[in-house]
């Protein structure tokens, strides 16, 4: 019997001059088994970016704009403080363009992130976890000042929100052209995604509610406490509402200047806190029920999107950001319950036939 598959592909219809040309145009994917009945819930899967996260967009924008305005010289070393994804994106960009990269990162973040950056040629300088995000930020500033390196300044640069205004937001508009989009849900790290996308949605899809989330035990925005800043807009001190949380990539111990625009201009309609355990639980459910592998930040965003979906009227359409892949969380609590060795059930399956058994 002749059996053919119903799934075919035809190629992208173009050849790429560089890996960097593949950044963006990530898909919005419908959730079929977990979404409440009558609600259309989609996720924007940023792990389709070449280095696996939404921060590929930011990394490209920082380097591209710095090259264009002359602030980054050929061969100059780039330095940045990062919890991982921006550093991984910068490592990819710098490797492709030939820039040395030094990353400063608190030693509390996952080991695989260090290895990924080092694999692409970056040097990773660890800072004490007790000094939190501000410590790794200040170390990057020290190194830049001492060596004349280019400081990427992801938390302050205009290139951050601008890339999301020009790419992420445009993709959302195109994907939902002629369709409802009742709510868009995101978390924040630097604030670039929410600020850049919200600029466009406020103008062109004002009916879309913008839902922002942050860790329940580190509600910097929810506290209402104003961030102290230096004259260059960098944080002057740690925010008093910050506590360590397991949602890596979200909410450093200060409110970034890029995010401040979203606060000042009321670019979000609702702020919903989410716990780290909820983020882990929903990331695991996404993997087991939908085959979608995302990290704790993606799980946390999805947890909030599910809350929004459950209270929505039938016919509502919701889009949720998934910032990265789950593979860079292997040494975090996300995988603590995932065994390395065979379970009893797996061992019983092995014993159920006579051959090739691992004793």
Dihedral of the CA atoms 46, 329, 216, 261 (nearest 10)?
Answer: -40
Please identify which of the residues 53, 110, 183, 297 carries the catalytic annotation.
Answer: 297
Domains of the chain (ranges; CATH) run: 19-48+170-335 (3.40.50.1100), 55-151 (3.40.50.1100)
- Asked if residue 91 lies in contact with residue 121, where contact means CB atoms within 8 angstroms, the answer is yes
Of 125-139, 257-271, 279-293, the poorest mean pLDDT is in 125-139
Count CB neighbours of 233 within 10 A: 16
Mean pLDDT of 90-119: 95
In the predicted structure, residue 79 carries a pLDDT above the cut 60: yes
pLDDT of residue 294: 98
State the average pLDDT for the chain: 95
What is the torsional sign of CA 115, 119, 120, 121? Answer: positive
Mean pLDDT of 344-353: 95
In the predicted structure, residue 5 carries a pLDDT above the cut 70: no
Q: How confident is the model at residue 4 (pLDDT cuts 50, 70, 90)?
A: low
pLDDT of residue 222: 97
**Measured distance CA(89)–CA(231) in Å, rounded:** 28
Strand partners, 214: 273
Please identify which of the residues 44, 53, 55, 132 carries the catalytic annotation.
Answer: 55
CA distances to 268, 299, 318 from 308, in Å: 14, 14, 8
- What's the pLDDT tens digit per position in 302-340? 999 999 999 999 999 999 999 999 999 999 999 999 999
Helix (H, G, I), strand (E, B) or coil at 209: strand
**Residue 297 a catalytic site member:** yes
pTM: 0.94
In the predicted structure, residue 248 carries a pLDDT above the cut 70: yes
In the predicted structure, residue 272 carries a pLDDT above the cut 70: yes
In the predicted structure, residue 359 carries a pLDDT above the cut 80: no
Per-residue DSSP letter, 239: -
pLDDT of residue 84: 87
Q: How confident is the model at residue 60 (pLDDT cuts 50, 70, 90)?
A: very high
In the predicted structure, residue 3 carries a pLDDT above the cut 60: no
pLDDT of residue 110: 85
């Amino acid at each position: 019997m002749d059996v053919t598959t119903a799934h075919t592909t035809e190629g992208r219809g173009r050849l790429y001059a560089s890996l960097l040309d593949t950044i963006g145009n990530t898909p919005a994917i419908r959730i079929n088994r977990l979404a409440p009945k009558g609600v259309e819930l989609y996720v924007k899967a940023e792990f389709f970016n070449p280095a696996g996260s939404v921060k590929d967009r930011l990394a490209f924008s920082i380097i591209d704009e710095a090259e264009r305005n002359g602030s980054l010289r050929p061969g100059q070393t780039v330095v940045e403080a990062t919890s991982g994804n921006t550093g991984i994106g910068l490592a990819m960009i710098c490797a492709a363009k030939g820039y040395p990269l030094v990353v400063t990162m608190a030693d509390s973040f996952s080991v695989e992130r260090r290895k990924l950056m080092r694999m692409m040629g970056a040097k990773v300088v660890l800072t004490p976890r007790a000094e939190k995000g501000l410590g790794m930020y200040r170390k990057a500033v020290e190194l830049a000042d001492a060596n004349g390196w280019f400081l990427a300044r992801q938390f302050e640069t205009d290139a951050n929100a601008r890339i999301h205004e020009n790419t992420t937001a445009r993709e959302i508009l195109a994907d939902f052209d002629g369709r409802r989009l009742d709510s868009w849900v995101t978390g924040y790290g630097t604030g670039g995604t929410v600020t850049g996308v919200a600029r466009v949605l406020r103008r062109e899809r004002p009916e879309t509610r913008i839902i922002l989330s942050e860790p329940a035990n580190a509600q910097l925005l929810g506290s209402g406490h104003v961030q102290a800043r230096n004259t260059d807009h960098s944080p002057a001190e740690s925010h008093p509402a910050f506590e360590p949380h397991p949602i890596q990539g979200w909410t450093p111990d200060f409110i970034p200047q890029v995010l401040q625009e979203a606060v000042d201009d009321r670019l979000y309609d609702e702020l919903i806190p989410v716990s780290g355990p909820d983020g882990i639980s929903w990331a695991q459910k996404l993997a087991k029920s939908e085959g979608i592998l995302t990290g704790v930040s993606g799980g946390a965003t999805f947890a909030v999107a599910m809350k929004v979906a459950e209270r929505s009227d039938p016919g509502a359409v919701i889009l949720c950001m998934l910032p990265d892949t789950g593979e860079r969380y292997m040494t975090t609590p996300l995988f603590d319950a995932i065994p390395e060795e065979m379970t009893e059930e797996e061992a019983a399956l092995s014993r159920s036939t006579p051959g090739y058994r691992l004793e």
